[in-house]
Each structure stands twice: as structure tokens, then as C-alpha cells.
Structure 1
Amino acid sequence: MGKKNVKEGMSTFHSKNNSFKKNLKKPKIVSKTKKARLTKVLRENQYIFEKGELASAKDAAREFIKDFEEGESLGLLSHLSFLSKAIKRNLQITSTEGNLKLLIDPNVSKRPPIYLYYHKSGHWTRENKKYHNCDCPRINNCLFKAVASQINRTPAEIKNLTIKEMKINEKHIASKISDIRILELLNPFEVATDGLRYDGTSAKDAKKILDHSQKNTCHPQNLYGHPRGHASHPSATGFTESVENYSKNSRKTSFLSRSDQDMVAHLALDSDLAQEAIEKLNKGSKNAVVEISARELEDDNLPMANDYINGRAVGDPKSFRWVKAVLRHPSKKDKGVDIHVHTFFPRL
């Protein structure tokens, strides 16, 4: 199989620099709210060292290693760096989405890298092809098998070498545990989770969520989402496909276009309030209502909105004061869908 050229990223775990570079079609921008969440995590973890509780840091490091040893961590970026060092080969990682490539520890070896493809379900293969049934999401088997198929080592040997490398560096892991945890939060490959999430980077990502919610039902209520009923779209025909249709029998507030709704939905879903609501859904809630003020959306160029009655706008467009989102679980048939937005609208 021909190998594509890829920009070399820095090591994902390095004593001097643990940053990494990504080759994206569109670079992912970490929003202000996400930065705030990461800063909070960093401060919470630095507390260990500020108070001199080195024993706690060592315990956290051992837990970090134990998670990988028992298969709880699905080959995250910081673990992959230890794997690279253990076998003394670079790892060239490609997501099957085709828009992200990473070179793990580019200075480990001058030999050709080990080629690995990461699939959205949590599987790893050596080539960009469909995987077969296996138990890899639990114990990382497919990751080690994909590596083993390219070097003279068995999967078990590779795993043991990786764990040995991590244990050798336990003190270093303890001293960098907060950085490791932030790496886990930023990890672009950690998408194989059973939990609901929104990790979009643009209005385009929010659009996919809204469009899918509009056409599908939530669980367990089995009700169709109707966020597009709060966006102007004169050519739409369905009753909840546009505010022009949805306001035929009652007053509705609406964005002036679907693209405006997409833009605001991204800001809203990316906010701390929405992320906390999603966490509640993951903990068992069946319904989460989020109200976010325009100020909390942290954008100086928010679009306008308007009231509609009987399919017509009432007065001139105005700035909205806040937005409301009703978040639910997607239908059971929609495996891999991030979140179900039952409705999403502005308030003037």
C-alpha cells in the first residue's frame, strides 16, 4: 500500500515538550470555554504538587499505568508515545475520517514508521480497511496486533514492553500527570466512547447534529427533534422544517437562517453549561434543558433573531438575550451519534 506523506508532529509525551502538531484540513480551534475547562483541570492537578503531596502523584501515575495494563485506556496519545519508545519505532497514525494524521515520536528511529489506522469505533488496523470482529475495545488487542504485523514481535510482547517502559518512567509520569490528563482531554482520537458528547469545532459540526436531530427520534421519549422549526427557511415544506411553517398556529422565536442557527448552536453546545448538561445525561438523566445568555456564548458577532406569527416575521430583527436547548439521548439505532438536540431557539 502506498504511504502518503505526512507532516511530522512533535512527540505527544516528552520531558521537554509534550505538545503535538496536527495536520488538519481545518485546524481545530479550542474555544475560550474549553480553554477554561482545561485550565481548571491543570490547576486542580497542580494542587498535588503545590501541597507537596508527591505520594498522591505517584498513586495517580500507577493508576495511569494500571489503566493501560488492564485495557481501560484505548491507546491514547500519551500511551502511544511509550509504545513507540518501547519498540524503538515511530508510529504514523491516521484517522479513518481522513482529515488527521500524526507522527508519534519522530526522533525515536530513522527506520520507516509503523503505520496505524484508528477507526471511530475504537479499533486499530495496519491498513485503511474494515476491521473484523474482535475484543479489542476492551484490551487493545487490535492495536498490538496491528503493530506486531509490521515487526518481529508478538502482540503480548509489545504490550509488555510498553508497560515496562511506562513503569521505568513512573516518576516522570508522576511529575507530568496534569499534562497527561490534559493530553487525554485534547486527544483527537478518543472518540470511541459510549457516552454522549459534543466536541465539534465549527458551525458545520453543529449543523450535522441539528440536521440529524430534525430527522430522527430521541430515546426513550421516541419524539422527533424539531430544532429547524426555529430557523427561517422559506423553501422548506415540512411542518417543523422552518419557522414559516412551525409558526402557523402559534408564535415562535427564530433565527433568521439555518446557518445563523448552526453558528449559535456550535457556541451553545461548546459552552460549559451545555457540557455539564451532557455529563448529566451520561450519568442517567433522560432530558437536559440548557438556557445560555448571549453573553455566555462569548462571541461579539452574534446574529439577529425575530418573532414569527402565522408564517410571517413580527417587526424588525433584534438581538436575542439568551438561547434555550433541550438535549436528549439519540435513538438506540443511532449508534455513534453525539447528542440529540430536541429543540434549539433564541429568546428576545
Structure 2
Amino acid sequence: MPSQPHTGQPAGSPNFTDIRRGNWVDRFLPSALAPYARLARLDRPIGTWLLLFPGWWSLTMAAPAKPDLGLMALFAVGALLMRGAGCSFNDIVDREFDGRVARTATRPIPSGAVSVRAAAIFLGLQLLLALIVLLQMNGFTIALGAGSLALVATYPFMKRITYWPQAFLGLTFNWGALLGWAAATGSLQAPAVLLYAGGIAWTLFYDTIYAHQDKEDDALIGVKSTALKLGASTRPWLILFAVVALGFWIAAFASAGLGWAAYLGLAAAGLLFAYQIRAANFDDPADCLAKFNAQRWLGWMLLAGILLSPWLS
């Protein structure tokens, strides 16, 4: 889809922005640090949760009766750092696009609060700290984690060349499903691979809903997404994504030998999928964002089911 000439005014409603004022960033951080917190999306933790849960699921699935709390803590810190690094890199790459859309025009780089050079230095710092976290794990996990950098580096460009950037986001955001099993066992086995595949379908589900926030702006500036590709057919495609995710997760749990409590978690996730498919208003950006944010509950549902599996089976 060809991009339209830039008129000098950001596209979209000026009242709908992804920068929220008056939160803890404004209240507690020095003004010089606040733009960097926003660049790393520290004020919007949902992305960190979505990056973290596949790793936690995999870690606990490998040893549900005795999860390694130290590894879980390392994964939490790593997810926070890598989500921040990914957002920083994405904002550097997309700074011209972001400046042309009302929802993103107030982000730190397009608004001028953070220079590209400063953002690059901040990116490097986050990656260095994430590397320190990764180096606390076994050699196989370190090598596997380093391999994810290729996905992190290429994802921001996908929206320029394909209507399926959400699939590439799924490949990137669910890498923790492989890392968690590797960190716990030193190997990679079928349960982790099946969990990863289900996570990719899950990301297609929630990020397609999220992309409907920007579909009109994306069409104007020439950015591609599944929201634009699927259009009026989004709802049946969401059914497909949900069924595929649940199917792979059932296979992962069966392969790992989990008990019936894990499947109760999956049943609860299925109900959340069904509700969102039925209730989502794809023409209401605020509703799309709310549905996206609610995915953290799915993460907790699966994690609770896995952890309760040894005790309620």
C-alpha cells in the first residue's frame, strides 16, 4: 500500500496517545530520566509481561514441583531489559513513522525529548545489562539467547515489507519458551518447541487486536499489519489463532506430562479467547488496547495451572 504525502500534522486523533501522564514516571523519576523510562516502556509493563510469560511457563513446565526461583528472577530482569532494548531499537528505526501518527508522535524520540544518539547509547546499556543476566545461565542457553538477537534486529523492518509483522513478533516475543527449558535442563525438547509454536499463534491473536488501533494511520503512511490484511475477516482469523495456540499448548503440556490442573489453566485461557473474539470492537482503539492489556491474565492462568499441576493431580 503506497504511503501518502506527509502534511506536517500527525495522522489520527490527537486525544489518543500511548503516552500517559501523571503516572509513577512523572511522580518519582527526575525529569532527565523520565524520557528514557518511557523509551523503555517502563510505564507500560504489559509488553514485559508478554515477553516474560513464555519463559516462566517453560521454566516451570520443566520442573513444576520445584521451580527454580533464581532462574525465574533472572528471566524477569532479562525480560525487562530486552523489552526496553527492543522498544528503544524499534523507536530509533521508526522515528519518522512515529512522528507522523498522533498516537506515537509524543514518544521520546519523535518529540525531541531523547536524541537518536542518546537513544542508541541507552540501547547499548540495556543490551550490556541483558548480556550480564544471560551469562549467569548455562552455555547452551547463552548460545540460544544470542541467537534471538537476529529476530530482535529484523522485527522493526517487517512492517515495511509484509502484512504479517505480527508473525515475526511472535517468533521474537516467545523465544523465552525455548530459553526457559534450556536454562532448566541444558537441552531443548519437544515440550518447549510446542510451547513456542503455541506462543507464536497467541502473539498473532493479541497483536492483531492491538494493530487495529493504528489501521487507519498505518494505511495513510504505508505501514503493513495483519489488521489491514485481515480487515473484516479478523474475527474468524482470531478464532483460528486461538485454536492453534490452545492446540499446541495442549500438546506441550501432554508432552511434559503435566496433570489436570494445567488443563484447567488452558480452559480458562480458552474462555478469555472466546470472550475477546466475541466482544472486541476493532473500530475502538481504547477497546483494542484494553483487550491487549488483558492478555496478562492469560499468562497468569497458564502459569498457575502449571504450578498447581503436581499438587492437584
> Counting strand residues as a fraction of each chain, which structure ranks higher?
1
Structure possessing the higher radius of gyration over alpha carbons: 1
TM-score, scaled relative to structure 1: 0.25
TM-score, scaled relative to structure 2: 0.27
> Counting helix residues as a fraction of each chain, which structure ranks higher?
2
